[in-house]
Structure 1
């Protein structure tokens, strides 16, 4: 007998590890998963931000904890996974959201900045997925990995945006998702990507100030930026059994911007 929709979306008894979870899109997705019943482990580099974010989730009745870690550092990644497994048990859901960007013209882009973006946005996703996969998901034959890319992965930039390292890294995330989904699918592990458009996040503030919010909204069919609810539904779908036949896919949450740009 098939389950009800409510049962399919229910995450009670599951644990989610959310990187970059202390604010912005990471916290929004952690909130969604926690509201569906999952226990949440938040991580980012700053303990003070994590403490505040965990308190926010706990005030909403969510079992939320935190570990400060740098997801560009291999040793920190191993420690993060070990401590999460020790404190919360197996990891059912991994949200790879921690990210960095750097604005500079391609001809003058510092190599060190390029490496910083790639190390966190691509290498960090791989290392954390590898660690969680082999230590928790693959042995049990189940799990969901949600990678955060961007509509910047789907094409070039307007001339005002000079973020070649960021765009390149997010394009890599799309094919990383496809490749890992193909390899780990037979073991019951699903891997998908969310591609947000323009949201009012701390990372996007400079871009919004540069291009102008009115112009950015005018370029979207829905005529607005993303808000603090717009990733919740898709994150829950991909994390839960409601999305159990979805893997290797990406979806844009961008107010329709990519649809008119041919993404």
Structure 2
């Protein structure tokens, strides 16, 4: 299937490793020019070089997502550098599971306000792309944890808030052909990631988590990226306001 992404302009936050990197790679492989950010400048530089090697225009900058003015400046510069924004992916996360005040603050600043600020900065570019080409997309990475609670958790609560926010953005902008969707992964395994570290340092707990999933394994970042890129594409032009659960059936709830 041709996803009709060739020549599109995409911005991905938190894109030097894991899910974000897989999303940026797949967008580039589909022919999108890509701008990325993350905190580590050396990792950003290396990722940009790899993206350019795929034959597309790529650009990046080291950004602290919690720094609102810096984040907005990055998005604006990305749009100007790429010549527009058709696709915005808010993927960066604080990835803290606790319920201390610092955990709540980190999840709010990076996950929640990170999404809000990137969208507000990208909105003029996205609206222009939608008006000119009939479709633009804003994607947010949430988590199956948004609907699974065993205790008080800043992570789950803020991931749930993102889903609510996305539905409002989708309804407000549907008439403009500016879509907003959420991808909620389950457990995702890659070296250096949360579950990669659990596998390496807590093998018994890791084995328990594998048994919990009916598929008998965890997802790869590439599998989450495939779902994200499909929702970002014009092939999904009538899909907006959706929370797509990509969890291998680890959750038991009915998702509708």
TM-based fold match above 0.5: yes
Shift of 1:95: 0.4
Match of 2:142 in 1: 149
CA distance in 1, matches of 2:71, 2:62: 10
Match of 1:212 in 2: 205
Mapping of 1:1-263 within 5 angstroms?
5-6=1-2, 9-104=3-98, 106=99, 109=100, 111-133=101-123, 135-140=124-129, 141=131, 142-157=135-150, 164-201=153-190, 202-208=193-199, 209-210=201-202, 212-258=205-251, 260-262=252-254
Shift of 1:12: 1.3
- Give the conservation status (yes or no) of the 8 Å contact 1:137–1:189: yes
After TM superposition, the score normalised by the length of structure 2 is 0.90
Shift of 1:213: 2.3
- Give the conservation status (yes or no) of the 8 Å contact 2:195–2:206: no
CA distance in 2, matches of 1:241, 1:98: 24
CA distance in 2, matches of 1:100, 1:116: 6
Q: For 2:238, what is the secondary structure of its paired residue? A: coil
CA distance in 1, matches of 2:198, 2:160: 19
CA distance in 1, matches of 2:152, 2:44: 27
Q: For 1:230, what is the secondary structure of its paired residue? A: helix
- Give the conservation status (yes or no) of the 8 Å contact 1:11–1:38: yes
> Aligned pair in 2 of structure 1 residues 217, 92: CA closer, same or farther (>3 Å)?
same
RMSD: 1.9
After TM superposition, the score normalised by the length of structure 1 is 0.87
- Give the conservation status (yes or no) of the 8 Å contact 1:101–1:165: no
Can you list the C-alpha shifts for 1:159-196, whole angstroms capped at 9, x where unaligned? xxx67011111000110110110001111100000001
Unaligned runs of 5+ in 2: none
Aligned residues: 247
Unaligned runs of 5+ in 1: none
CA distance in 1, matches of 2:172, 2:51: 34
CA distance in 2, matches of 1:163, 1:46: 31
Runs of 4+ in 1 over 6 A off after TM superposition: none
Can you list the C-alpha shifts for 1:178-225, whole angstroms capped at 9, x where unaligned? 011000111110000000111124234455555622211111111101
